[in-house]
Amino acid sequence: MKVRFAPSPTGYLHVGNARIALANALLAKRHGGEFLLRLDDTDLARSKPEFGDAIEQDLRWMGIAWDAMMRQSDRTALYRAAADRLIAAGRLYPCFESEDELNAKREQRRRVGKPPIYDRGMLKMTAAQRAQAEANGKVPYWRFKMSDHSVEWTDLILGRRSVKLTAMSDPVLIRADGTFLYTFTSVVDDLDTGITHVLRGEDHVSNTGVQLDLIEALGGSTIMFGHLPLLTDEEGGKLSKRLESISLRGLARDGIEPVALTSYLARLGTGAEAVPADIAALASEFDTGRFGHAPARFDGAQLRAVNAKVLHGLEFEQVRERLPAGATASFWNAIRGNLDMMSEVRGWWDVVSGDVAPPGIEGEADFFKAALETLPPEPWASDVWTSWIDALKQITGRKGKALFAPLRLALTGEDHGPELAALLPLMGRARTAERLEQAAA
């Protein structure tokens, strides 16, 4: 087995790209195959080296490794040779119509009730007519003459699929400027590198029909294709327009852990619960037959829930380098059970070691004065919270929410969070007393 992930370096990877990359990587790992990273950078105007570098960085961040890497911009001679073979076989033919002429043809076909596909008019052009067109300064672009039948295959995910080629226009494979289009270069590369399986989005189904015909025309072996249903948002709407706003870099900045993202994406659309698991574990259970045929709903809340599970299970030594300077194991153990994102750590560090201005709490001044009066002297042991609360209960007669809620708000500025019994020793008596004085003022 040999698979590939072939992004265009025209932007940063988003969750849709990441899902495809992960699926291919897991498929290869499950079956002991090879995983190829190919940058489809033939669009010279939009492809940027910095985006190519970013793709590599983002894949490594996800924990995805590849066995080999290549760039299409280095392989134009291979495409030229394949094009020459198709021309010699009569499967690639030159066209000279302008976009205005093509629009007029499509409109004419619509008026007589025919589908607005290309009419293959250029196939009737004689050698003399072509010479005259070129003498007049016209440069041809080249179309692939597709077979006059339907193409069928057993999709790895969607099952039996069929594409009627006669209902489609012959695709342009080479532009007038001599550059090659994705439909063509992808097939040439897949055949040359021995790709056996391709997993990609469901929006490529029609394109797969064309490429299977192209594979046959080039004398290549059959490639197995699988198409993952597309992602929707929480309401079931198309996510495609929002994908650029859900970049891997953005998720990382927000505090999403890579293992949370891979655990979520690997099970998205399978019905399996997304629980934290490393790449090896995800690969061991990966099965294209588990994916449903309906669009998969990308739910940010579910992703954050998986992320929280990841953080709750991390030990201090695993995160030490990512914590604020001076943070201890006691601090991490106190807060990790309340984290959804790593970005929330800084706020809790400020609570135990910085300045927090408690909000005004009307009618509680006497309570905070009593809390200050009963605050035990240092040194503080781990049971300081219990002894303080017991004394405060006796003086005020309070219990439950009436006792704890005002203290939490005064000491942390938040109405929920880690156990105050764990936070109090980290805050220290001076900081605790200062906040109670401010709250009582």
pLDDT in tens, 313-332: 999 999 999 999 999 999 99
CA distance 322 to 162: 51
Evaluate whether residue 169 is within a structural domain: yes
Q: What is the arithmetic mean of pLDDT over 152-156?
A: 97
Does the pLDDT at position 244 exceed 70? Answer: no
Res 43: pLDDT: 86
- Amino acid identity for residue 99 in this structure: E
Our measurement of the distance from residue 5's CA atom to the centroid of its chain's CA atoms, rounded to an integer in Å, reads: 13
Q: What is the arithmetic mean of pLDDT over 91-102?
A: 95
Evaluate whether residue 24 is within a structural domain: no
Residue 242 banded pLDDT, cuts 50, 70, 90: low
CA distance 38 to 8: 9
Closest CA to 295 of 378, 369, 202, 225: 202
Backbone angles phi, psi at 141, to 5 degrees: -110, 165
Among 174, 203, 229, the domain boundary falls at 174
Evaluate whether residue 28 is within a structural domain: no
The residue behind tokens 């924990």 is: 63
Evaluate whether residue 382 is within a structural domain: yes
- Using alpha carbons only, give the angle 137, 179, 227 rounded to the nearest 5 degrees: 135
* pTM exceeding the 0.85 threshold for the entire prediction: yes
CA distance 399 to 403: 5
- What residues are paired with 228 via a beta bridge? 201
CATH number at residue 117: 3.90.800.10
pLDDT tens digit sequence for 376-392: 999 999 899 999 999 99
Taken in order 134, 136, 175, 48, is the CA torsion positive or negative? positive
Q: CA–CA distance from 381 to each of 77, 368, 385 (Å)?
A: 74, 22, 9
Does the pLDDT at position 241 exceed 60? Answer: no
CATH number at residue 425: 1.10.10.350
CA distance 98 to 181: 18
- Using alpha carbons only, give the angle 13, 14, 18 rounded to the nearest 5 degrees: 80
Our measurement of the distance from residue 311's CA atom to the centroid of its chain's CA atoms, rounded to an integer in Å, reads: 20
- Peptide bond before residue 379 is cis, with ω within 30 degrees of 0: yes
Evaluate whether residue 427 is within a structural domain: yes
3-state secondary structure the chain: CEEEECCCCCCCCEHHHHHHHHHHHHHHHHCCCEEEEEECCCCCCCCCHHHHHHHHHHHHHHCCCCCEEEEHHHCHHHHHHHHHHHHHCCCEEEECCCHHHHHHHHHHHHHCCCCCCCCCHHHHCCHHHHHHHHHCCCCCEEEECCCCCEEEEEECCCEEEEEEHHHCCCCEEECCCCCECHHHHHHHHHHHHCCCEEEEEHHHHHHHHHHHHHHHHCCCCCCEEEEECCEECCCCCECHHHHHHCEHHHHHHHCCCHHHHHHHHHHCCCCCCCCCCCHHHHHHHCCHHHCCCCCEECCHHHHHHHHHHHHHCCCHHHHHHHCCCCCCHHHHHHHHHHCCCHHHHHHHHHHHHCCCCCCCCCCCHHHHHHHHHHCCCCCCCCCHHHHHHHHHHHHHCCCCHHHHHHHHHHHHCCCCCCCHHHHHHHHCHHHHHHHHHHHHC
| Count of domains forming the chain | 2
Structure tokens at 168: 């489609």
Evaluate whether residue 422 is within a structural domain: yes
Evaluate whether residue 112 is within a structural domain: yes
Q: Write down the mean pLDDT value for the chain.
A: 94
**What would you report as the CA-atom Rg of the chain, rounded to the nearest whole angstrom?**
31
Among 140, 174, 208, the domain boundary falls at 174
pLDDT tens digit sequence for 115-150: 999 999 999 999 999 999 999 999 999 999 999 999
pLDDT tens digit sequence for 255-294: 899 999 999 999 999 999 999 999 999 999 999 999 999 9
What range defines the domain where residue 431 resides? 365-440
Residue 359 banded pLDDT, cuts 50, 70, 90: confident
Closest CA to 211 of 231, 240, 188, 244: 188
Does the pLDDT at position 245 exceed 70? Answer: no
CA distance 253 to 12: 14
Q: CA–CA distance from 157 to each of 197, 254, 271 (Å)?
A: 12, 32, 14
Residue 83 banded pLDDT, cuts 50, 70, 90: very high
Evaluate whether residue 237 is within a structural domain: no
- Amino acid identity for residue 192 in this structure: D
CA distance 239 to 236: 8
CA distance 419 to 306: 22
Among 113, 147, 174, the domain boundary falls at 174
Res 417: pLDDT: 95
Are 335 and 285 within 8 A, CB to CB? no
